[in-house]
Amino acid sequence: MPSVDSRESLLAPYAQRSSESAGRARAEQEHSFRTCYQRDRDRIIHGTSFRRLDGKTQVFLNGKGDHYRTRLTHTIEVASISRTVARALGLNEDLAEAIALAHDLGHTPFGHSGEETLDRLMKDHGGFDHNGQSLRVVETLEESYPQQPGLNLSHEVTEGLRKHDSTLTHPKLGDHPSASLEAQVANVADEIAYYGHDLEDGLASGLLLEKELEDLDVWREASAKAREESGGLLGSAGARTHRKFIIRCLINREVEDLVATSRAAISASGVTSADEVRRHPVKLVSYSPELKSRNASIRRHLYAKFYHHPEVRGTNDKVCRQMKAVFADLVNNPSSLGSRSLTRLERDGLHRVVADYVAGMTDSYLRSRYEALGFPSL
């Protein structure tokens, strides 16, 4: 097996090396053959919060259909794209993958509608944001080690989860404007994944229509590429194969553009180390301006025709009313939170502890808690 040093010698100079990690909040002895980022990845996928992602909505409520994405399958797709892009750019694949696997650990049940509902319920108590909650999960809420709460992940992984912070802080560098390139890769891979799988799920459900997608440049180009690569067989393929092959070509187009544009930006920036990347004033991993504009059209179409479709919104509104009822009951009856949550009341406050508890629920568990309250069905 190649040594850690020999593997890291293959990385680009601006990649984040595990041997140069800023370490963990609680120092640990290094593993004999796993890098710190490999260990972080393993801690994440063995965590309770990661398993719960399988029961959480992406767009369609969990249980709506066997083939629709869940928050877990979305996460796996983000990790896959992150590794592909990281390898193409000579970056640390293990770090990019670990960030991708942790990026949605704090997501609520019922998708973004659930997040918006919980944020409104917490408006007088600090609000709620799933990105910040993902960080809270790995630093505080996971209980895997007797020495301290959380997973004690390396600084570079937790840095990657702070993707919306205007200023980041590094133990050695102090405040800096940018995260590692690996963190930037995971952030954009998240977008690529949901462009692809939300389009596919929308088409499979019948809520999106391919003839309307033909008005979008990216879809039209991907469709033409799919016809070319299929050797003219695309038109005779079944509906599922037809749309899956177009989505494949669309994701490939996104990834190729991202790699080419980012490679050029990194070269032009002159950065020669991961620390120089952090000091660089702008992000270096991005699409071309042309594709960024075309992706904005995809996003607008998804919001107008899919996320806000009456069938999706109607169902989400109903289950979010259930979330409000469960939240209110827990605030009024905190003893039902359980012993582990109750230990955090004095430190974190009742509403934050209830938000932690609700955010950690799967779709089905929240619905069962609602039914147990004896309210009439919505």
In a domain, 25, yes or no: no
In a domain, 169, yes or no: yes
| C-alpha count within 13 angstroms, C-beta hemisphere, residue 61 | 18
**pLDDT score for 67:** 61
How many domains does the chain fold into?
Answer: 1
Residue 53: which domain range? Answer: 33-372
In a domain, 13, yes or no: no
What phi, psi does 73 have (nearest 5°)? -65, -35
**pLDDT score for 172:** 81
**pLDDT score for 52:** 96
In a domain, 291, yes or no: yes
In a domain, 4, yes or no: no
- Which are the contacts of 6, defined by CB distance < 8 A and separation ≥ 6? none
**pLDDT score for 104:** 95
- pLDDT per residue, tens digit, the chain (378 aa), is 556 667 788 999 999 999 999 999 898 889 989 999 999 999 999 999 999 999 998 775 544 545 678 899 999 999 999 999 999 999 999 999 999 999 999 999 998 889 999 999 999 999 999 999 999 999 999 988 877 889 999 999 999 998 755 568 888 888 889 999 999 999 999 999 999 999 998 998 899 999 999 999 999 999 999 989 888 777 767 878 888 889 999 999 999 999 999 999 999 999 999 999 999 999 999 999 999 999 999 999 999 998 888 888 888 888 899 999 999 999 999 999 988 899 999 999 999 999 999 999 999 999 999 999 987 665
- Which are the contacts of 320, defined by CB distance < 8 A and separation ≥ 6? 110, 113, 114, 116, 117
What are the beta bridge partners of residue 24?
154
In whole angstroms, give the CA distance from residue 295 to residue 350: 41
In a domain, 22, yes or no: no
In a domain, 181, yes or no: yes
In whole angstroms, give the CA distance from residue 241 to residue 249: 12
- Which are the contacts of 274, defined by CB distance < 8 A and separation ≥ 6? 14, 15, 16, 17, 20, 180, 181
pTM: predicted TM-score of the whole model, two decimal places: 0.93
CATH number of the domain to which 96 belongs? 1.10.3210.10
In whole angstroms, give the CA distance from residue 138 to residue 194: 23
**Residue holding tokens 């469709």?**
223
Q: Which of 137, 154, 163, 45 is nearest to 92 (CA)?
A: 154
**pLDDT score for 66:** 55
In a domain, 102, yes or no: yes
